[in-house]
Structure 1
Amino acid sequence: MTSRLATEVARVFAADGALARHVTGFSPRDSQTAMAAAVSEAIAARSSLVLEAGTGVGKTFAYLIPALLSGKQIIISTGSKNLQEQLFYKDLPALTQMLGLKPRLALLKGRSNYLCQLRLDKQMREASHTEARLLDDLLKVNQWAGTSKDGDIGGLTSVAENSPALPLLVSTKESCIGKRCDFYDECFTRKARARAMDARVIVVNHHLFFADSLLKDTGFAELLPDPDVVIFDEAHLLPDICVNYFGQQCSSRVLDSLLQQVLALYRSELGDTGQLAQFSQRCLARLADWHNALYARDANDWRQLLGDKALAALSWGLLDELQALAKLLTAHLGRSEELDDIAVKLAEFNAKLAQFFHCDNPQAAYGIELGNRFVVLRISPIEIARECAELFNPDTSWVFTSATLQVDRSLAHFAKQMGIDKARQAILDSPFDYPRQALFCVPRQLGSVSNQQQALKQLVEVCLQAIDAAQGRTFILFTSHRMLEQVALALRSRTQYPLLVQGQAGKQSLLTKFRQLGNAVLLGTASFWEGVDVRGRLLSCVIIDKLPFVSPDDTLYRARADSVARHGGDPFTEISLPQAIISLKQGVGRLIRDEKDRGVLILCDNRIVNRPYGQAFLNSLPPMARTRDLDKALTFLRRIP
């Protein structure tokens, strides 16, 4: 039986409905109408829905319209800031006007997007010691803060987005002191949360949603409201995000900052307590020794590193010094509010560090990420299904959608990962004419990708031919930074077309330049495989170096693989293959973004046709025309106007 909401939504999508009256060139699409109906029924029945909507289905309107017409309190969570802002500033205003609705809307971002008035005040009070260029930016931010209504750094145009002033001024969990803050009443972050509590439609991102849902964010009693409906767009990102939020992590950057704060406090307020300086400096020295030892070993699996007795001794020695400092701070509680705050945060950090060093949870992976100066320690759960199932309460409607969720025409892998096996599942294919619009080529002459020198030489030759045929207008997507750098070096002296290489500038800056040039070649790794939308003749060719299998040395993969093997399963088919298929689909999705687009996809990895598992990849990709003949692909490219 069709719900009242589904009937009302169907009228909006009809040939004579609101969309047809207000959107130029609109015509009903069966897949979009079907998605809107499925979302409507999930909302009406308070049930869960997992739905893959191929590129071109129009999924944004297909979930926004049922959400708005339901009249319920809705959280829409996205994977990227760009989509979050598009929904809030463009799509939602257009639809509410079109539908004659006036719900309260709220855009809520993570802490680091908001100015912290306390940190700004502190920097301004210390301005006499500030370097001239930094001071200039601080003054501009201070002037902007007096006129800004929301404190969203995204609205700050007078200061460059990479200004060294901004990290000193934005809100952070570590610097927040909650109700004890002199600026609590006017706090931009607190007011943003208050607006969200009163709104009917709240737009957030996945990181913020899980941080708040799991109470990982501190400083305020009120977090996100308990909504009637949660819609996750770009839901394919959720499994990796959940691993972070259901696990634990701590950064030595935070520890270094706390120790520096103790030293600064000794110099400014507590100079009569020399032990503060002595203990802090001892901790900093131990931290430096520990850092040096980690970088010298250059490994990321803590379980393996624990076998190194010298490193284990350094680790426990560092914790001993930190606990001695924590005990000293406790003895001086009440002398300074800042010291009291540091004492609490150091105790929390020490507890996390001890948990990591003990490494005693067989259902978790213990990994280390080595940065430029600091390290991040992560405890990652092998499975997240149980935690997710507890989080997704049955009183709320949960909708999960993305263009890339299915593996070999099934959504079971995603549903199982997320603990939502009982959710309704649906796959709606793209309405694009892929057999006519796109050609998929795996060149016949390719050798094995395991022979890196041969693979590099062949990849460069394929790239040169394709770039010339496409007159630039090419993305080259890589599975490793090393291969990207080698190919970029080889192409620089051999092609006349402009090369834009990841790392030269920020992602959005490179994409803007790619569009402006009109004949450029962009080389990128993981971040360019998704969330990139270049339409029309600006992008005619996408080249992918090889199938994106996870590295067997990845700490989390190794822990998961061991667990699967212990239970008699096959780690390759249960973990590696599904992850690689979804990643490949993301890369492939960069090519055809519009019903008028035409282009060629070239995959320089013949395993997709030579190995039995290749068919699972092919079944999961859009139904492009296929060829092994590179010359046919080049001819196709030359004929694209």
Structure 2
Amino acid sequence: MTPLTHKLINASIEAFGVDGALANHIQGFSAREVQISMATAVCEAIAEKANLVVEAGTGVGKTFAYLIPALLSGQQIIVSTGSKNLQEQLFYKDLPALLSILGLSPKAALLKGRNNYLCQDLLEKQLQGCDSLDTKVLDDLLRINQWAGQTSDGDLGGLTAVSESSDALPLIASRREVCSGKKCSHYEVCFTRKARSKAMDAKIIVVNHHLFLADRILKETGFAELLPDSDVVIFDEAHLLPDIAVTYFGQQISTRSLTDLLNEIINIYRNELRDSSQIEVLTSRCITFFNDWHQQLFDRHEQDWRQLMGDKHISATAWGLVAELKALESLLHGHVGRSEDLDSAVEKLDGFIHKLSLFFLCDNAQAAYNIDYGHRYLILRIAPINVTRECEQLFDSNTAWIFTSATLQINRDLSLFTKGLGIDSAKKMILDSPFDYFNNALLCVPRHLSRVSYQDSAVRDLVGVATQAINAAQGRTFILFTSHRMMNAVAAELRSRVQYPLLVQGQTGKQSLLKKFRQLGNGVLLGTGAFWEGVDVRGKLLSCVIIDKLPFVSPDDSLYRARADSISREGKDPFLTLSLPQAVISLNQGVGRLIRDEKDKGVLILCDNRIVNRAYGQAFLNSLPPMKRTRDMDKVVSFLEQIK
């Protein structure tokens, strides 16, 4: 152990001690053995520039366990989270509290992806062209304009005057493809630029996984690197990192960006190049071809591009679009040098043609080609099925890399996570929750459940179980689903069966639903993936969590199919190698909503009997906290009625 390691460990343990800084400032604080174990391992990783992977169960106190050594080290720190909620909690709550307790005052910065910030230039342009806008959109833009004069950081997360689903927000959010950098008249007051400048000057930076990977891989043009080189990078909610990495090591194309570019070219013609009417003619042809192709995809709504390319009509329209874009590009090359804006547009158009051609060819057997459908636009993605090699290069030896989450292991093994990121040589730790699950929690898989594949029977069974549990718990229940269809079917049936208020995902934003759930005190919240993780409801407000079925990825998912085919070619079983481990981690995230504090009590009900009558069910059970188990709903009712 080096002197630096020894010094940092001693300082951290002292902070956690009986007479330490935390005990002196936080009423009732007492360090847990597992928390000190994690903090010690983090100290060693920081001091020795090593890699560390820690699964820290609920209640370990992992946030303090990594933040205190990081802050005491005095080094350049980046903390990356998987969600905006945790990012904001760290920056606005945990970090200021610890800096005050430890008597430290380094500069700290919160940095989000650029689409989280207001673009003053886009807002100005939208208001100038307001005659063509929908009344509701215009009303929201005026509210945003009023807020723009009051906000200090332009973070749209702080905008409460309009709905988070407002159609006005995409119109004014900062976007790289329309950013003119230093040429912009708002450059000096640009919120995105100021946030990045603040980050470059900070000692501690809180980001999210998307932004971190964008900085390391994409190196956005116009602002160079977003983040300074750091001594330590800590990934919280690290279980999300592998799937996010797939996005950034692949390629993606936004059809919105292509639409904006084509409209921009027409505006350049009308404002600067009126002597070349052929520009408008060819651009309009491109827009027509684009709209036809776009509509065909929305009509089919198939996510796997390989499947769609089997349709000769869609294939012909796709390649026809590329041909029209190439014809436009050829014409525009004859006007290069006449307009700076046109020169920039030609460069962007060339990039789009190249990316679209790669996507339409879909000739890489080691990648998945899929389409994400938005409200009006699409994202075309080329996702590699394995990013191990790329990640090995990403996590260099000049930095201490620390990965932590409450859910990383499968059957007490962390190698699925570490091998996927190319960090199998990292030190690995599994720290179990210190909470008394055996006495405070009950797991029930009710008897006589229908097969989950029988939709109508599964709805009937789940509604019957949920009605019993909700009444016994006097509301205070989460019901987590693997599909919106099942959620809506169950919600429709429950409305006439329970007297407690139902809060269903989609009624309003996630945070608004959670706030209302806490305020009601007897609510029942129904949600899908967004509510399986990053949700913290403590105490008696939440006594029961019901999960509709084991969260296996759909076999029709294009990325899963591509990965499964690759695994099969290696002579391995895709289910055991890929599908099962992913489902175990997802289930653990949902289960983690139940017990959030050492005094919490509650029941977990899983309405999927495959966990008890299939051999693979043991993998799920081995990874769950050590709860008492039953198949008797009467015992569930009795347990819930005792939680007062």
Aligned positions of 1:266-281 closer than 5 A: 266-281=269-284
Alpha-carbon separation, structure 1, partners of 2:428 and 2:575: 24
**Equivalent residue in structure 1 for 2:440, among 417, 437, 442:** 437
* Partner amino acid, structure 2, of 1:428: L
Aligned-pair distance for 1:120? Answer: 3.0
Whether the aligned pair in 1 keeps the contact of 2:215 and 2:225 (CA below 8 Å) is no
Aligned positions of 1:540-559 closer than 5 A: 540-559=543-562
Q: 1:118 to 1:77 in 2, by over 3 A?
A: same
Alpha-carbon separation, structure 2, partners of 1:509 and 1:478: 19
**What residue in structure 2 maps to residue 218 of structure 1?**
221
Whether the aligned pair in 1 keeps the contact of 2:231 and 2:399 (CA below 8 Å) is yes
Q: 1:543 to 1:3 in 2, by over 3 A?
A: same
Whether the aligned pair in 1 keeps the contact of 2:219 and 2:225 (CA below 8 Å) is no
Alpha-carbon separation, structure 1, partners of 2:134 and 2:409: 53
TM-score, normalised by the number of residues in structure 2:
0.96
Alpha-carbon separation, structure 1, partners of 2:134 and 2:475: 44
**Structure 1 stretch displaced more, 127-136 or 186-195:** 127-136
Alpha-carbon separation, structure 1, partners of 2:582 and 2:519: 34
Whether the aligned pair in 2 keeps the contact of 1:408 and 1:620 (CA below 8 Å) is yes
Alpha-carbon separation, structure 2, partners of 1:449 and 1:91: 41
Alpha-carbon separation, structure 2, partners of 1:91 and 1:465: 39
Aligned positions of 1:62-81 closer than 5 A: 62-81=65-84
Secondary structure, counterpart of 1:400 in structure 2 = strand
Alpha-carbon separation, structure 2, partners of 1:481 and 1:139: 34
**What residue in structure 2 maps to residue 516 of structure 1?**
519
Q: 1:610 to 1:133 in 2, by over 3 A?
A: closer
Where does structure 1 lack aligned partners over 5 or more consecutive residues?
A: none
**What residue in structure 2 maps to residue 282 of structure 1?**
285
Secondary structure, counterpart of 1:476 in structure 2 = strand
TM-score, normalised by the number of residues in structure 1:
0.96
Alpha-carbon separation, structure 2, partners of 1:137 and 1:314: 37
Q: In the TM superposition, what whole-angstrom CA distance separates every residue of 1:69-111 from its partner, at most 9, and x where no partner exists?
A: 0010000001111211111111111111111111111111110
Q: In the TM superposition, what whole-angstrom CA distance separates every residue of 1:40-88 from its partner, at most 9, and x where no partner exists?
A: 1000110000001111111111111000000100000011112111111
Secondary structure, counterpart of 1:493 in structure 2 = coil
**Equivalent residue in structure 2 for 1:91, among 90, 94, 99:** 94
Aligned-pair distance for 1:589? Answer: 0.5
1:20 is aligned to 2:23: yes
Alpha-carbon separation, structure 1, partners of 2:143 and 2:8: 49
Aligned positions of 1:173-184 closer than 5 A: 173-184=176-187
**What residue in structure 1 maps to residue 303 of structure 2?**
300
1:427 is aligned to 2:452: no
Aligned-pair distance for 1:215? Answer: 2.1
Alpha-carbon separation, structure 2, partners of 1:504 and 1:615: 37
**What residue in structure 1 maps to residue 398 of structure 2?**
395
Aligned positions of 1:601-612 closer than 5 A: 601-612=604-615
**Equivalent residue in structure 2 for 1:360, among 363, 368, 372:** 363
**What residue in structure 1 maps to residue 328 of structure 2?**
325
Alpha-carbon separation, structure 2, partners of 1:97 and 1:486: 49
Q: 1:156 to 1:319 in 2, by over 3 A?
A: same
Alpha-carbon separation, structure 2, partners of 1:527 and 1:131: 30
Secondary structure, counterpart of 1:185 in structure 2 = helix
* Partner amino acid, structure 2, of 1:542: V
**What residue in structure 2 maps to residue 264 of structure 1?**
267
**Equivalent residue in structure 1 for 2:529, among 526, 530, 533:** 526
* Partner amino acid, structure 2, of 1:11: E
Aligned-pair distance for 1:454? Answer: 1.9
Alpha-carbon separation, structure 2, partners of 1:65 and 1:430: 20
Alpha-carbon separation, structure 2, partners of 1:155 and 1:454: 44
**Equivalent residue in structure 2 for 1:479, among 475, 482, 487:** 482
1:206 is aligned to 2:209: yes
Alpha-carbon separation, structure 2, partners of 1:166 and 1:311: 31
* Partner amino acid, structure 1, of 2:634: D
Alpha-carbon separation, structure 2, partners of 1:147 and 1:489: 42
Q: In the TM superposition, what whole-angstrom CA distance separates every residue of 1:421-460 from its partner, at most 9, and x where no partner exists?
A: 0000001111110011100000122132222222221111
Aligned-pair distance for 1:146? Answer: 4.4
Aligned-pair distance for 1:156? Answer: 3.9
Q: 1:293 to 1:492 in 2, by over 3 A?
A: same
**Structure 1 stretch displaced more, 631-640 or 186-195:** 186-195
**Equivalent residue in structure 1 for 2:153, among 138, 144, 150:** 150
* Partner amino acid, structure 2, of 1:105: A
Alpha-carbon separation, structure 2, partners of 1:426 and 1:3: 20
Whether the aligned pair in 1 keeps the contact of 2:164 and 2:509 (CA below 8 Å) is no
Alpha-carbon separation, structure 1, partners of 2:247 and 2:395: 17
**What residue in structure 1 maps to residue 473 of structure 2?**
470
Secondary structure, counterpart of 2:188 in structure 1 = coil
**Structure 1 stretch displaced more, 175-184 or 416-425:** 175-184
Secondary structure, counterpart of 2:515 in structure 1 = helix
**What residue in structure 2 maps to residue 385 of structure 1?**
388
* Partner amino acid, structure 1, of 2:609: N
Q: In the TM superposition, what whole-angstrom CA distance separates every residue of 1:177-214 from its partner, at most 9, and x where no partner exists?
A: 22332332332212211211121100001110001111
Q: 1:149 to 1:451 in 2, by over 3 A?
A: closer
Aligned-pair distance for 1:300? Answer: 2.1
Secondary structure, counterpart of 1:596 in structure 2 = coil
Secondary structure, counterpart of 2:292 in structure 1 = helix
User: Percent sequence identity over matched residues?
Assistant: 66
Q: Over aligned residue pairs, what C-alpha RMSD do you find? A: 1.8
Aligned positions of 1:575-614 closer than 5 A: 575-614=578-617
Aligned-pair distance for 1:313? Answer: 1.4
**What residue in structure 2 maps to residue 39 of structure 1?**
42
Aligned-pair distance for 1:409? Answer: 0.8
* Partner amino acid, structure 1, of 2:495: R
Aligned-pair distance for 1:267? Answer: 3.5
1:560 is aligned to 2:574: no
**Structure 1 stretch displaced more, 154-163 or 16-25:** 154-163
* Partner amino acid, structure 1, of 2:55: E
Secondary structure, counterpart of 2:177 in structure 1 = coil
Alpha-carbon separation, structure 1, partners of 2:271 and 2:151: 32
Alpha-carbon separation, structure 1, partners of 2:164 and 2:449: 43
Q: In the TM superposition, what whole-angstrom CA distance separates every residue of 1:246-270 from its partner, at most 9, and x where no partner exists?
A: 1111122221222222233334443
* Partner amino acid, structure 1, of 2:121: L
Q: 1:551 to 1:106 in 2, by over 3 A?
A: same
Whether the aligned pair in 2 keeps the contact of 1:535 and 1:593 (CA below 8 Å) is yes
Aligned positions of 1:94-243 closer than 5 A: 94-126=97-129, 134=137, 137-243=140-246
Aligned-pair distance for 1:280? Answer: 1.7
Alpha-carbon separation, structure 1, partners of 2:119 and 2:340: 18
* Partner amino acid, structure 1, of 2:481: F
Alpha-carbon separation, structure 1, partners of 2:588 and 2:638: 24
Q: 1:295 to 1:138 in 2, by over 3 A?
A: closer
* Partner amino acid, structure 2, of 1:569: K
**Structure 1 stretch displaced more, 425-434 or 303-312:** 303-312
1:536 is aligned to 2:539: yes
* Partner amino acid, structure 2, of 1:481: H
Aligned positions of 1:333-372 closer than 5 A: 333-372=336-375
1:635 is aligned to 2:621: no
